[in-house]
Amino acid sequence: MGLSDRRVYLDHSATTPVHPQVVESMAPYWSERFGNAASPHAFGQAAANGLEQARRAAADVLGCHPAEIVFTGSGTEAVNLALRGAAWAARQTGRGNHIVTTPVEHHAVASTVDQLRDLQGFEVTRVPVDEYGHVDPDDLASAIRSDTILVSVMAANNEVGTVQRVFRIGQVCRERGVLFHTDAVQAAGRIPLELDDTNVDLLALSAHKFYGPKGIGLLYVRRGVPLVPVITGGDHERGRRPGTVNVAGAVGLAAALRLVEEERVAECARLRRLRDRLIKGVIASIPDSRLTGHPVHRLSNHASFVFRGVEGRSIVLGLDLEGIAASSGAACAEGEPEPSPVLAAMGFSQDWGIGSLRFALGHANDEEDVAHVLDVLPGIVARLRAGG
């Protein structure tokens, strides 16, 4: 242990602890209901029943049909299935070759569209964002061409917390007859995900971001949306995601999704108060500090900053010695710190962009945790600036 005995976890955008009720819901599927959900015997059918119950429960929360849900091995895999699956299906029918996205997407989207471009000849347009990381739906509309097959815009940004206007973007895509995928991995439990009310065609989630287990994700695929499977094999998940299904994981994902949705309004209000206190305190007490992301349209649990001339990674290590877990989005190329592609796209220069720091609040956090951060962070930044 470092300088402090207090342990404060403020990295809930990276991952969350599994809720005890979620663990409880999963346990039978590791023991007495261990069967393969594809087996016709009683052991298999007990697992299959659990799986279908989980699918119905998740569909109920999301406002969609159970058949529109595909369980995957992670959020990254759900995103890959959405993008590759839709792009390959479009290619099969000669519908077009052009994908529209943004420069602030998570690697799951960014690397996948880059590979579709570099290895398979798809064309990719990244619509610029403003200083808050917002994409303008009108700019997006202008980027759509007659050969555009897919638009992918994240619901909420992992690094700077900005919430995009997904409802309006979906409308634009629907009017143009283009499929719309949203990476909602950071959004579950934080913004409403009512699919019957939106024009989203494909939506990716990951259980470990909302108090569910790791190794299970979900892709919502609107009925009728053509998708080529990315993994080939058997006919699990209606042929869309072959591989023996992680039933315990699916049960845990559904239980966690229900829990975070039930508590969403109250918990978001609680965390928003803590977040705002943290933001105000940091900006007031540390010179040359700025909030990153949108001041209002941002995740209720998310506070992210840049500190001029200090490396975010060093701040993270300094905080760790004080028992505080946070994260930094800055990248490191050949030893030289650089702003992350997200901050660079938002216009941050090198001296500001290297100093990125993210706090993401969750269930266990309270006023004292915020006070502890405000107690130690100004000294850490000052020491680093002084070269210590």
Active site residues: 332
Contact between 48 and ligand PLP (CB under 6 A)? no
Contact between 18 and ligand PLP (CB under 6 A)? no
Strands 202-206 and 331-333: unpaired
Of the candidate spans 179-187, 253-261, 290-298, 338-346, the one that interacts with ligand PLP by CB under 6 A turns out to be 179-187
Task: Tell the smallest beta-carbon distance from residue 35 to ligand PLP (Å).
Answer: 26
Task: Tell the smallest beta-carbon distance from residue 107 to ligand PLP (Å).
Answer: 8
Q: SS3 letters for 72-115? A: ECCHHHHHHHHHHHHHHHHHHCCCCCEEEECCCCCHHHHHHHHH
> Rounded to the nearest 10 degrees, how much is the dihedral formed by the CA atoms of 278, 279, 283, 288?
110
By CB under 6 A, the count of residues binding ligand PLP is 13
Give me the residues paired with residue 70 across strands. 219
- Provide the mask over 182-211, with x wherever binding to ligand PLP is found by CB under 6 A and - wherever it is not: -x-xx-------------------x-----
* Residues 206-225 interacting with ligand PLP (rule: CB under 6 A): 206, 217
Interface residue with ligand PLP, options 18, 51, 68, 75 (CB under 6 A): 75
How many other C-beta atoms are found inside a 10 Å radius of the C-beta of residue 263?
14
Contact between 108 and ligand PLP (CB under 6 A)? yes
DSSP state letter for 164? P
Task: Tell the smallest beta-carbon distance from residue 344 to ligand PLP (Å).
Answer: 17
Contact between 158 and ligand PLP (CB under 6 A)? yes
Q: Are 255 and 21 in contact (CB under 8 A)?
A: yes
Task: Tell the smallest beta-carbon distance from residue 187 to ligand PLP (Å).
Answer: 8
* Residues 326-345 interacting with ligand PLP (rule: CB under 6 A): none
Question: In the chain, where do the E strands start and end?
Answer: 8-9, 69-72, 98-101, 123-126, 148-152, 179-183, 202-206, 217-221, 289-291, 302-307, 324-325, 331-333, 336-338, 356-360
Using the minimum distance from each CB to ligand PLP, give the nearer residue, 16 or 198. Answer: 16
Of the candidate spans 181-189, 284-292, 302-310, 379-387, the one that interacts with ligand PLP by CB under 6 A turns out to be 181-189
Contact between 152 and ligand PLP (CB under 6 A)? no
Task: Tell the smallest beta-carbon distance from residue 74 to ligand PLP (Å).
Answer: 4
Contact partners, residue 71, CB within 8 Å, separation at least 6: 51, 55, 216, 217, 218, 237, 241, 245, 246, 249, 250, 253
Contact between 369 and ligand PLP (CB under 6 A)? no
Q: Are 67 and 238 in contact (CB under 8 A)?
A: yes
Q: What are the residues binding ligand PLP (CB under 6 A)?
A: 74-76, 79, 106, 108, 154, 158, 183, 185-186, 206, 217
